[in-house]
Amino acid sequence: MAAQDLTSGPVRGHLLRMSGFMLLTMLMQTLYSIIDLFWVGRLGREAIAAVALGGNLMMVVMAVGQTLAIGAAALIAQAAGRKDMAEARRLFTQAQSVSGVLAVLLLLLMYAGRGLYGDTLAGDLRTAALTREFLGPFIPALALQVPMFVLSAALRGVGDVRTASIAQLVTVVLNMMLAPVLIFGWGSGHPLGVAGAALATLISIALGVAGLLLHVVRKTQFFSSEWRLAPRLAWRMMRIGLPSGAELALMAVYMSFIMAMLQRFGPAPQAAFGIGMRILQAGMMPCMAVTFATAAIVGQNYGAGHGARIREAFMHALRFNLVVATLFCIAFHVAPAALIRPFSHDPQVLVAGADFLRWIAWNQIAVAVIFACSGVFSGFGNTLPSLIGSATRIGAVMGGGLLLSRDPRFSPVWLWVLSVSASVGQLIINVVLLRRELHRRLPPAPEATTADAPL
């Protein structure tokens, strides 16, 4: 059943191959995100702020989806590493059943709270109205992301990144084509504005999920005949991914907190933050791709008992992440305004966005190390260390931000400086916890490889 055996062959080759497929997909998704923001930017800064507020809910969806996806990928990879194909198939099928239930629950909850969400966090009434308009079609698209996340993660567990990558590429290309047509009414004469951007996302994701499921059912033997929910097995997967899901949920709270802190300054800083986060996410894409690949490699080799290959995977991931992060850090410092300008010509947005990128650029170095550690934690099936690091960072930023906001001189830059400081603390925590996990789970590294794998 395993599409790719990751317990043999060059570790670097596996890492580059899997990362390459996922990076291509992520880059296309980021390109769409940037192009979508480019078109929405033509509707004004209130529209940008509304889409940024709506987009923050993606973190909630990722929190729910990743709770299941991380656990499913880890257990499937470990079963594949042990060559226990019946168990891997059972886990694969159960993950898809649970994802469907979670998607329906998310759909209902987000529709119930969309009005309150927009009214509470928007900087003005116009932005609040546009946020509600955007969320109408966007919420079903978000719910459909859960099955997409989980199915893609399950395929990664068996070493197959190609199938999900192709499906997601098609989805992104379709989204890019539909967005300007629906936003501005090209051809139809009926512009839908921000709702058009959301509708384009809904149509493309619905077709992508349907196509991916159809392919997996027809062309593979990954599904078993047991689709009925098995509570114990479902909880086994969810328990592993729960810290990772909680980490993303905290991130959603953090994003909403930042938006709330910026509310007093009006829609311009909120728009700048939304644009800056899209650009920042583009810089994080290569590291995220390596993290997912590392988790699959570590999972299979942990199941097979190959400790040396786990250490090797971590060191390759760390080196790659640091190189990429350094390049983006330099770019964010050298030309921050140039990166913001394609999305907004508003002088206030340009200044606020440039300040954000200059300061947050330093986070890239810390994130490179944190992501490499997270890949190993996920492969082991223990994401609690990642949660501890993230909770510490987010708690420091939110607690410090509330205290600093009492000062009449308070400005958004204070939040960015605080974020950089907290990220350094998270880096230290993750490295310490990774050393503990490696020493606890793996035999000591041979002396000949100690220099290459100091952890």
Burial level of 77, CB count in 10 A (0-12/13-18/19+)? buried
Distance spanning both ends of the chain, measured CA to CA: 33
- pLDDT-derived band of residue 374, with 50, 70 and 90 as boundaries? very high
- The full DSSP string for 230-287 is -HHHHHHHHHHHHHHHHHHHHHHHHHHHHHHHHGGG-HHHHHHHHHHHHHHHHHHHHH
Asked if residue 185 has pLDDT above 70, the reply is yes
The pLDDT of residue 446 is 60
**pLDDT score at 215:** 80
Residue bearing the bigger pLDDT, 425 or 5: 425
Asked whether 404 and 417 are in contact (CB, 8 A), the reply is no
**Per-residue confidence (pLDDT) for residue 1, from 0 to 100:** 42
pLDDT given at position 451 = 41
Tell me, what's the pLDDT at 274?
84
Of the two residues 433 and 8, the one the predictor is more confident about is 433
Q: What is the pLDDT of residues 17-39, one digit of tens each?
A: 888 877 877 777 677 666 777 78
**pLDDT beyond 70 at 232:** yes
Nearest in space to 123 (alpha carbons), one of 341, 272, 329: 272
Confidence band of 3 (pLDDT split at 50, 70, 90): low
Give the whole-number percent of the chain exceeding pLDDT 70: 93
Q: Please write the tens of the pLDDT for every residue from 281-338.
A: 878 888 888 998 898 899 889 888 888 999 999 999 999 999 999 999 999 988 898 9
What is the model's pLDDT at position 252? 78
Mean pLDDT, rounded, for 175-181: 88
> 324 is written with which tokens?
């990429």
For residue 7, what pLDDT band results from cuts at 50, 70 and 90? confident
Give the residue-averaged pLDDT of 157-161. Answer: 76
Residue 133 CA to residue 79 CA, distance in Å, equals: 45
| E-strand stretches of 112-158 | none
Q: What is the distance between the alpha carbons of residues 413 and 215, in angstroms, rounded to a whole number?
A: 48
Q: State the burial class of residue 225 (Cβ atoms within 10 Å of its Cβ: 0-12, 13-18, 19+).
A: exposed
Answer whether residue 104 shows pLDDT above 50. Answer: yes
Residue 448's pLDDT is 44
Q: Which of 163-177, 220-234, 382-396 has the lowest mean pLDDT?
A: 220-234
pLDDT digits (tens, 9 = 90+) for 120-133: 877 678 888 888 99
What is the pLDDT at residue 225?
Answer: 66
Q: Six-digit token pair at 352?
A: 């606020």
H or E segment and range at residue 157: helix 125-157
Q: Which residues contact 425 (CB under 8 A, 6 or more apart)?
A: 392, 393, 396
Residue 56 CA to residue 259 CA, distance in Å, equals 10
Tell me the mean pLDDT in the region 65-88.
82
Domain ranges of the chain: 11-449
What is the reported pTM? 0.69
356-360 mean pLDDT? 91
The overall average pLDDT reported for the chain is 85
- Residue 95 half-sphere exposure toward CB, CA atoms < 13 A: 38
Q: What is the mean pLDDT of residues 251-267?
A: 85
